[in-house]
Every structure is written in structure tokens, then in C-alpha cells.
Amino acid sequence: MTARRGWAAAVFAVVVVLVAAGLVVRRLDRDDPPTAGTSVTASPTPSPSTTPSSSPTPSSSPTPIVQSSTRTTTASLAAENRVVTANALYRAGRLPASRCKEPSVRPTTVANVRKYYTEFVPCLDRAWAPLIRKAGFTFWAPRVEVITGQTRTMCSVSDSAAYCDGVISMDANYDLANYRNDNQLWARTTMAHLVAHEYGHHIQRLTGIAAASYARSTAMSSANARLVESRRLELQASCLSGSYLGADRRYFPATGGWLQRWLWTVQHRGDEWNPTRSHGNSTSHSRWTRRGFNAASASVCNTFTASAASIA
């Protein structure tokens, strides 16, 4: 990674830590977006994304660390399949608007970045809590922390965005560099998308989807099948991210130039810049994120029953 972490060196990381019945799982995935353009023409309707002319070289993802002596049985695997494919979350209805505006503070200092996220995450709580309870699950809010590039003690990672064991971590240095060196509006839409994506992983944890997906993955015999499972999990988190913004679009507001830049942002994230193929290509990422936005509901975010082509 270069010293200047702007458009061409952004790191998108997700860390999921699950603790259940003595099983500890630690996962780290990355995808890197390309250099941004100066203009965008897009609509909220899903469409293929353009391929940038250049891309950075991302870091490789480590192999998941698994500490378990319990083998997944056929019966338990069938149960895990039901959790991810027929989860009550998908039937809970439209996500209520948080009625929150975009935080007015700009990422010019670490303190400002911290203020942005500490204002944003309670809005996500406000929208998701009633839906999670309606679906029959227990809601508890994640903790948000803003770091400045140091390694996180809990999960031993340092990245621009991460979710790990109930904690959403956002790297202030990444946001400061984007805002200072690149397009200021892009920096804001990226912040909004990433924090809501990491929150999507929290929703997956609360509903049992994250744990069930991990169990499915450990039962798979090929690395390619496990990557497909990872893409289903990641693309769902981005769909849930879009669902929040879609529900709150009138109040945020997600309109005009802000919306156009957000659409560009979600179009230009994907595995074209991630040789591990763990997050889905830019076309798939754009399609699923926009589906969530248009429906403002988790009902359209069931990536686990989607065709392989749609989560490529």
C-alpha cells in the first residue's frame, strides 16, 4: 500500500468474529476500488458498471483461522441452510426510516471523523432495531470505534473498515486522505456506504446468518465454493447497506449530486481489484446495493438463493 491512501489505494475489509459453542472464527477479506472519475451518469436502476482503466494491487487475504473439533453434520447443515435461505429477516417488511440527516461534520480531523460515525451509527440502530425485533431476534447495538491505522487488539487487523465481534471500526486516516486528496463528495458517500455495510454484518450476526454461513463454508470441500459463500455474505451486507439509505433517502437526503456520487461509488467496488474473489465483482456489487436501495427492505437481499451468475 502506498503512503497516499486515496482512490487508487482504498482497502475495504470485513472481519467477522463469531463465538458459539466453543467455536471461534476469524475472517478477513478485502476489495479495492479504482481511481475515481470527475463525473458520473447513473440511475438507481441496477445496471452493469464500467471497468476502470487502472487498478491497484491489493493485499492478499489470510486464511481463516478455525479452532474447532466439531464436524458439521447433515442435519445441522440443513438447519444452517434454512437460516440463510429462509431467515425471518426477509419477511420482516420495509425498513423504517431513521429520519436522520447526513452528519454535517466533514472529515477534516480525526475528531470530526469520530463525530461523523458516532452520529451515524445510532441512526442505523434506530432503523434496524424495530425490524430485528419484528423478525423475532434480540437486538443489541454494536460499538463504533474510530482508529488511526493502528492494529486493532481484538481481531489483529488494521483496515479502512471492519466489523469484528460487535465492534464496527473505521479508519480515520483513510477518510482524511480521501477528503483531502480526492473528491470530497466521494469521501462522504464512501463513508456512508462503508459504515452501513459493516452494520450489515452486525445484522447478519444478530439474525444468525453470519454463523450459519460460516458453518456452511466449513462444510464445503473446495476453495472456490467457499469463495462463492463469502461473496453471498458480502453482497448481502452491501444490499443491507443500500436498504438503510433507501429507507432514509428523503431525510438524509440521498438526492441530486450526492446520490449520483453514491451510485458511482457502489458501481466501482468489486473483485476486479481483489484477486481473492471474495466480495463479488463491481456489476454484482452495484446490482445488490441498488436492489436494497430501491426496495428499502431486506426482503430483496437474500443472496443465498440467488443464482451463481448474480453473485459473480
- Asked if residue 132 is part of any domain, the answer here is yes
The reported pLDDT for the residue numbered 157 is 58
The reported pLDDT for the residue numbered 152 is 61
The Cα 210–Cα 197 span in angstroms is 14
Q: How many domains does the chain have?
A: 1
Q: Which domain range does residue 276 map to?
A: 13-29+87-304
- Asked if residue 49 is part of any domain, the answer here is no
Of 273 and 181, more confident: 181
DSSP letter (8 states) at residue 67: E
Buried b (16+ CB within 10 A) or exposed e, 91-129: ebeebbbbebebbebebeeeebbbbbbebbbebbbbbbb
Mean pLDDT of the region 95-120: 97
Query: Helix-strand-coil percent breakdown of the chain, rounded to 5?
Result: 50, 10, 40
- Asked if residue 4 is part of any domain, the answer here is no
- Asked if residue 46 is part of any domain, the answer here is no
Distances (CA, A) of 82 to 203, 209, 302: 17, 10, 12
- Asked if residue 38 is part of any domain, the answer here is no
For residue range 298-310, list pLDDT tens digits in order: 999 999 999 999 9
- Asked if residue 47 is part of any domain, the answer here is no
User: pTM here?
Assistant: 0.79
The reported pLDDT for the residue numbered 209 is 98
Coil, strand, or helix at residue 27?
Answer: strand
Q: What is the mean pLDDT of the chain?
A: 80
- Asked if residue 136 is part of any domain, the answer here is yes
Given a contact cutoff of 8 angstroms between Cβ atoms, the answer to whether 33 and 285 are in contact is no
- Asked if residue 214 is part of any domain, the answer here is yes
* Of 198, 174, 196, 197, the residue nearest 186 (C-alpha): 174
The Cα 55–Cα 58 span in angstroms is 9
